[in-house]
Chain A
């Protein structure tokens, strides 16, 4: 026996919206708190899309749309109390002749068996079937009591045409926030962002705003550049010898710890490169600590954490610190302490690519070095033979108000000497 007491209304095109009432949650609950809206007025929704999240008595309930249509009115704000059985949203439906009113629909499905050929489907589903020349009687309904749902029509179609459609179970699993294309790890099948070919403008906020300010100030500094190439053949050998020892202690050893330590040894002889001038260039402060900044490419952009007090650290200590900073950087978890207080910076842009560069000094520092990639190139040895050499380019920039070319050149030569002859570093290690 087919017991159904729907009320069918004929709606005129003058009044296409229908109020969707908050349906029964169960357990005799009469009111709930609206916690989050997934739609706003003007949004298009499909039947079974999530509309909002309500909470009652430790139960979190997702309310879904009964119709396809456009949201015309939300009856409650977030944190307001919504009443069961009273209007929740107004949805303007596309179909204008026959509309089911929702109130009685659920209860009537409890004690039924469907016999005969009357198939359950909403007007939207019927229309979809009609548009695609599908007989409802040929479709297997997966909804309650064999009701035919939109997914069933789509599945039927895909079998016919061989089209690949997103798997049905996932269609309303993800919360709508994930379905609107937010950049994030949980973005599987779902509406792709449509390329509209329009320009997009957004205000510069947060970190980018800070960068604009700082870089504008940085380029007020008169920069001069000085470049050279360094033969790292002996360092390559040394690092290869030490790699396994370091890894045995749980630390990855790259070339950077050597570059950083050599820079610190150089700064001991040329402390003006580790200084700072005040605004207006009235006073110069020679910084005691060598806090060497290392430019890092992270998900947030280019960040420059620094290794504190390099003058007190061994190459291994530096390697360990670098590992820690790299791990934090990769996780987007670098703190203010690690990111501030730098006195001198090295940028290993060569790890991404490039040879020579024109680095920009990061205030309040007065010098910066950019390291190109290490290339194996032919060079002449002392006896005139052509040998394979590991060559790296370095590009220095310095604040020309207080640093002259000769100082930069001598510092660079000393740094280069340590790296080309690592044994000399051992003599001068503090």
Chain B
């Protein structure tokens, strides 16, 4: 552990050596401000993991500034199928990622700045961090009416949300991260931030929608670099440091040994989909000739745990519908891949003149 910290410290020439200090404040030089050069959501989330695991936060805090190419980022305990249209996201080349912290779904793009405040558990203070941001904004644009709310959002003119917050606490470290909408493209959002399929019942953390705004809509001359500079200056002032903004490359395994493993885990199906709290799907499937079937699926760890398809008795035998249900159990809740393979294999024996095929395809469409 210590050698990794030394290696990281050596990367950042110009940061003062830390001196011992009372635990509740840091003396000058005892903070680090980093900016990630990556715009890949998985690399940046992995970078958060790496910093949390490898940097000793008892003596210093770290501020990380980062942004991503378009990505949907869901909270730790959310359901990606309800939060986002996965087919539309794949088509548009938008990544879907699950972060480690709680809270709701956000849409990242290059016009959205993410700030992560890493501290020891003792120094975990989200309101202080948000105050630093509002102070910075008021410094560069005194006309801006920005305020942190009880829900730890930052709002403009009393009601337009420009920042949302989430955090992560572990045994002896913590981080608080938040978004800051500088110039995000909101039109790309609407096509993707809607459920993949209807009829999902779950206890996953829901997202609370609010009207949002970009800083540039209200302060058109505020450049990205100016915003970053103001935030760095205010961070140094608020926390008593003199750290310059240091640019880092999280894809550099030599500087961040082990970060590749975090990237693999964060981009794996098991993390993004397998960690979904259990949920059920209850829906009616429309069939030809004005007939319909009822579908009830239970999904646990992203896999179909149980499935029931009820069909009108004169349409096809219930036993055939049951066979269809049985071949879905144990496979991922996804209309492609193993479920599609299972269904197609079963359909080779279809003697119902196409009705089983129609039913099967309707069931697959109801899956994410």
Which residues of A are at the interface with B, using a C-beta cutoff of 8 A? 25-27, 35-36, 48, 53, 55-62, 64, 78-79, 110, 142-144, 167-170, 172-174, 177-178, 182, 184-186, 188, 205-207, 209-211, 213-214, 217, 278-279, 300-301, 303, 328, 332-336, 339-340, 362-364
> Across the interface, do B323 and A213 meet the contact criterion of CB distance under 8 Å?
yes
Nearest-CB residue, chain B, relative to A217: B349
Could you write out 5 A-B pairs with CB less than 8 Å apart?
A: A60-B169, A188-B261, A207-B345, A300-B341, A301-B341
> Across the interface, do A55 and B265 meet the contact criterion of CB distance under 8 Å?
no
Q: Which of B4, B101, B275, B344 contacts A336 (CB 8 A)?
A: B344
A339 to B227, CA, bound (A): 52
Is B271's CB within 8 Å of the partner chain A? yes
Residues of the A chain whose Cβ atoms lie less than 8 Å from the Cβ of B361: 336
A223 smallest CB distance to B (angstroms): 16
Is B348's CB within 8 Å of the partner chain A? yes
Of the stretches B32-40, B184-192, B310-318, B325-333, the one at the interface is B325-333
> Across the interface, do B268 and A35 meet the contact criterion of CB distance under 8 Å?
no
Residues of the A chain whose Cβ atoms lie less than 8 Å from the Cβ of B258: 167, 169-170, 188
A60 to B75, CA, bound (A): 9
A79 to B258, CA, bound (A): 33
A132 smallest CB distance to B (angstroms): 21
With A35-B76, A62-B170, A207-B327: A340-B152 Cβ-Cβ less than 8 Å: no
Is B255's CB within 8 Å of the partner chain A? no
> Across the interface, do B329 and A55 meet the contact criterion of CB distance under 8 Å?
no
Nearest-CB residue, chain B, relative to A280: B351
A210 to B328, CA, bound (A): 9
A115 smallest CB distance to B (angstroms): 14
> Across the interface, do B341 and A58 meet the contact criterion of CB distance under 8 Å?
no
> Across the interface, do B77 and A172 meet the contact criterion of CB distance under 8 Å?
no
> Across the interface, do A36 and B341 meet the contact criterion of CB distance under 8 Å?
no
Q: Which of A27, A170, A206, A303 has the most CB of B within 10 A?
A: A206
Is B54's CB within 8 Å of the partner chain A? yes
A141 to B268, CA, bound (A): 35
A287 to B365, CA, bound (A): 27
Residues of the A chain whose Cβ atoms lie less than 8 Å from the Cβ of B268: 184-186
> Across the interface, do B102 and A60 meet the contact criterion of CB distance under 8 Å?
yes
Those 3 A-B pairs whose CB atoms lie nearest each other, nearest first: A205-B330, A186-B265, A339-B344
> Across the interface, do A279 and B338 meet the contact criterion of CB distance under 8 Å?
no
Nearest-CB residue, chain A, relative to B171: A64
> Across the interface, do B76 and A207 meet the contact criterion of CB distance under 8 Å?
no
Is B27's CB within 8 Å of the partner chain A? no
> Across the interface, do A35 and B342 meet the contact criterion of CB distance under 8 Å?
no
Is B159's CB within 8 Å of the partner chain A? no
B contacts with A, residue count (CB < 8 A): 72
With A186-B261, A336-B361: A363-B329 Cβ-Cβ less than 8 Å: no
A37 to B271, CA, bound (A): 15
With A184-B270, A336-B340: A59-B101 Cβ-Cβ less than 8 Å: yes
> Across the interface, do A58 and B166 meet the contact criterion of CB distance under 8 Å?
yes
> Across the interface, do B121 and A26 meet the contact criterion of CB distance under 8 Å?
yes
> Across the interface, do A186 and B102 meet the contact criterion of CB distance under 8 Å?
no
Is B100's CB within 8 Å of the partner chain A? yes
A178 to B271, CA, bound (A): 9
Is B364's CB within 8 Å of the partner chain A? yes
With A185-B265, A209-B342: A214-B348 Cβ-Cβ less than 8 Å: yes
Is B165's CB within 8 Å of the partner chain A? yes
> Across the interface, do B345 and A336 meet the contact criterion of CB distance under 8 Å?
no
> Across the interface, do B169 and A25 meet the contact criterion of CB distance under 8 Å?
yes
> Across the interface, do B344 and A182 meet the contact criterion of CB distance under 8 Å?
no
Is B141's CB within 8 Å of the partner chain A? no
Residues of the A chain whose Cβ atoms lie less than 8 Å from the Cβ of B264: 185-186
Q: Which of B171, B326, B347, B349 contacts A172 (CB 8 A)?
A: B171
- Excluding A61-B170, A205-B326, 12 further A-B contacts by CB distance (< 8 Å) are A55-B76, A58-B102, A58-B165, A59-B168, A60-B169, A167-B258, A186-B264, A205-B329, A209-B342, A210-B341, A332-B337, A340-B347
A156 smallest CB distance to B (angstroms): 14
> Across the interface, do B23 and A173 meet the contact criterion of CB distance under 8 Å?
no
B96 smallest CB distance to A (angstroms): 14
Q: Which of B77, B261, B338 contacts A36 (CB 8 A)?
A: B77
With A59-B166, A169-B1, A209-B327: A35-B77 Cβ-Cβ less than 8 Å: yes
A55 to B104, CA, bound (A): 12
> Across the interface, do A335 and B261 meet the contact criterion of CB distance under 8 Å?
no
Q: Which of A27, A60, A184, A209 contacts B101 (CB 8 A)?
A: A60
> Across the interface, do B103 and A214 meet the contact criterion of CB distance under 8 Å?
no
Q: Which of A167, A173, A214 contacts B346 (CB 8 A)?
A: A214
Residues of the B chain whose Cβ atoms lie less than 8 Å from the Cβ of A35: 76-77, 277
Is B282's CB within 8 Å of the partner chain A? no
A188 to B349, CA, bound (A): 43
A178 to B340, CA, bound (A): 27
A427 to B49, CA, bound (A): 63
> Across the interface, do A335 and B340 meet the contact criterion of CB distance under 8 Å?
yes
Contact digits for B260-292, partner A, Cβ 8 Å, 1 yes 0 no: 011011011011001101000000000000000
Residues of the A chain whose Cβ atoms lie less than 8 Å from the Cβ of B337: 300, 332-334
Is B19's CB within 8 Å of the partner chain A? no
A177 to B337, CA, bound (A): 23
Residues of the B chain whose Cβ atoms lie less than 8 Å from the Cβ of A328: 336
Is B172's CB within 8 Å of the partner chain A? yes
Is B58's CB within 8 Å of the partner chain A? yes
With A79-B203, A170-B258: A58-B101 Cβ-Cβ less than 8 Å: yes
Residues of the A chain whose Cβ atoms lie less than 8 Å from the Cβ of B75: 58, 60
With A35-B77, A59-B166: A206-B329 Cβ-Cβ less than 8 Å: yes
Nearest-CB residue, chain B, relative to A189: B261
Is B138's CB within 8 Å of the partner chain A? no
B265 smallest CB distance to A (angstroms): 3
Is B126's CB within 8 Å of the partner chain A? yes
Q: Which of B172, B262, B341 has the most CB of A within 10 A?
A: B341
> Across the interface, do B341 and A339 meet the contact criterion of CB distance under 8 Å?
yes
Nearest-CB residue, chain A, relative to B126: A27
> Across the interface, do B53 and A169 meet the contact criterion of CB distance under 8 Å?
yes
> Across the interface, do A336 and B103 meet the contact criterion of CB distance under 8 Å?
no
Residues of the B chain whose Cβ atoms lie less than 8 Å from the Cβ of A182: 270
A306 to B269, CA, bound (A): 26
> Across the interface, do B265 and A60 meet the contact criterion of CB distance under 8 Å?
no
Is B122's CB within 8 Å of the partner chain A? yes
B4 smallest CB distance to A (angstroms): 7
A224 smallest CB distance to B (angstroms): 20
B61 smallest CB distance to A (angstroms): 15
> Across the interface, do B76 and A60 meet the contact criterion of CB distance under 8 Å?
yes
Nearest-CB residue, chain B, relative to A279: B351
Instruction: Mark out the residues of chain B between 157 and 197 whose CB falls within 8 Å of any chain A CB in the assembled complex.
Output: 165-172
> Across the interface, do A207 and B342 meet the contact criterion of CB distance under 8 Å?
yes
B173 smallest CB distance to A (angstroms): 10
A278 to B261, CA, bound (A): 53
B45 smallest CB distance to A (angstroms): 13
> Across the interface, do B166 and A211 meet the contact criterion of CB distance under 8 Å?
no
Contact digits for B298-311, partner A, Cβ 8 Å, 1 yes 0 no: 00000010000000
Is B238's CB within 8 Å of the partner chain A? no
A125 smallest CB distance to B (angstroms): 15
